[in-house]
Amino acid sequence: MRVLVVEDETRLANNIAEALRERCGFAVDCAENGTDGAALTEFKHYDLLLLDLMLPGLDGLSIVRQVRRRKDMTPILILTARDQPAQVVELLNAGADDYLAKPFDLGELLARAMALIRRGKGASQPVLTVGRISLNTVEQTVRCAGDLIDLSPTEYRLLEYLIFRPRAIVSARELLEHLYDYNWQHHSNVIEAHISNLRKKLRAVGEETSIVTLRGRGYRLEAPEQQL
């Protein structure tokens, strides 16, 4: 998952980004002003937008309006130091999904961020299952029939991204865009290597669910028909 944090207070932005990376395993980009933030949202790489309300350049509310005008459904969480009810109502009506008043609890911010992402992908609870595999997004663990499978952070993130859309074809490009931030050198063969390791680990525990490579089109998480 990839999150955009638009916050002019750089210390706060770095703290949020660090927490999202450490606890949720997300890729995070930060923008210091509204104009840069709005420009970044246009790529649609993000699974969540975290916006400060008072920003230099373009304020949070304007970014929300821009994003929603493009029919972009990316979940939006607003951070604000001004929490008058009228403003909150205006924000939510403009298309924001949730808001948090500063100073917030970092744990609550992470929980809301994860909840918004899984809601945005059509899941209502933090444990996702395909076949015998269950993936806990809060603990960031993967189990096969109750037994823990030891995955690297990247392997976990790959599986997490795919498990939200079982049987759908996900391109290597999309995986790159949604799993790495801008500081990463993009090489699609990195994805191929991680997919291959993930596949081996699933096979090792005897799981029939597997990741199929469709040459030139992408990857697909496939489970035996009756178990889906």
Partner 1 sequence: MKAAANAIKTHSLSRQLIGGVLLAELLCAALFSAAAIGHEMHGRRRAFDVMLRGRADSLLGAVRDAEDPEDNVTVDPAELVLPAQDLYEVLSPSGRVLGHSPASSADLLAALSTPHPPGYFNFRVGREHYRALRFDGVRVIDREDNGGLRRPVTVLYAAPTWYLWREAVEAVQFYLLAGALLLAVTGIALVWFLRRRLSPLQELAAIAGRVSARSWEFVPPAAVLRTTELAPIALSMEELLKGLQLAFERQRQLTGDAAHELKTSIAVLKSSLQLLSMVPRTAEQYEAGLEGLLLDSARMEELVSRMLTLARLEEAPVELGESCELQSVVRQVAERLRPLAELKQVVLDVSAAEPLVVALPAGDADLLCSSLLVNALQHSSPNGRVSVLVRALDGVTEMRVADQGDGIPASALPHVFERFFRADRSRSRASGGAGLGLSICKAIVERANGTIHIHSAVGTGTEVTVTLPARQNSAQN
Distance CA 67, CA 49 (A): 10
**Smallest distance, partner 1 to C-beta of residue 221, A:** 29
Binding mask 17-36 for partner 1 (x = CB under 8 A): -xx--xx--------xx---
Task: Find the binding residues for partner 1 in span 42-61 (CB under 8 A).
Answer: 54, 56
List, edge to edge, every strand of the sheet that includes 127-130: 127-130, 133-136, 141-144, 147-149
- Percentages of the chain per state (helix, strand, coil), in multiples of 5: 45, 20, 35
Spatial distance between the Cα atoms of 143 and 149, rounded to a whole number of angstroms:
5
- By CB under 8 A, is residue 39 in contact with partner 1? no
| Residue among 184, 199, 164, 213 nearest 47 (CA) | 164
Decide if residue 153 touches partner 1 (CB under 8 A). Answer: no
Determine, following the binding rule CB under 8 A, whether residue 16 of this chain makes contact with partner 1: yes
Closest approach of Cβ 106 to partner 1, in Å?
4
Cβ neighbors of 137 (< 8 A, separation 6 or more) are 24, 114, 118, 126, 127, 128, 160
Region of 12-20, 158-166, 174-182, 205-213 interacting with partner 1 (CB under 8 A): 12-20
CA distance linking residue 56 with residue 227, whole number of Å: 51
Q: Which is nearer to partner 1, 54 or 92 (CB)?
A: 54
69's tokens = 């005008």
Report if residue 9 touches partner 1, rule: CB under 8 A: yes
Closest distance between partner 1 and the C-beta of residue 84, in Å?
A: 9
Q: Tell me whether residue 32 or residue 207 sits nearer to partner 1 (CB atom).
A: 32
Handedness of CA 63, 69, 74, 79 (dihedral sign): positive
Tokens of 65: 């309006």
Q: Give 54 or 94: the residue with its C-beta nearer to partner 1.
A: 54
Window 75-134: residues binding partner 1 (CB under 8 A)? 79, 81-82, 101-107
Residue 111: CB minimum distance to partner 1, A: 13
Binding site for partner 1 (CB under 8 A): 8-12, 15-16, 18-19, 22-23, 32-33, 54, 56, 79, 81-82, 101-107
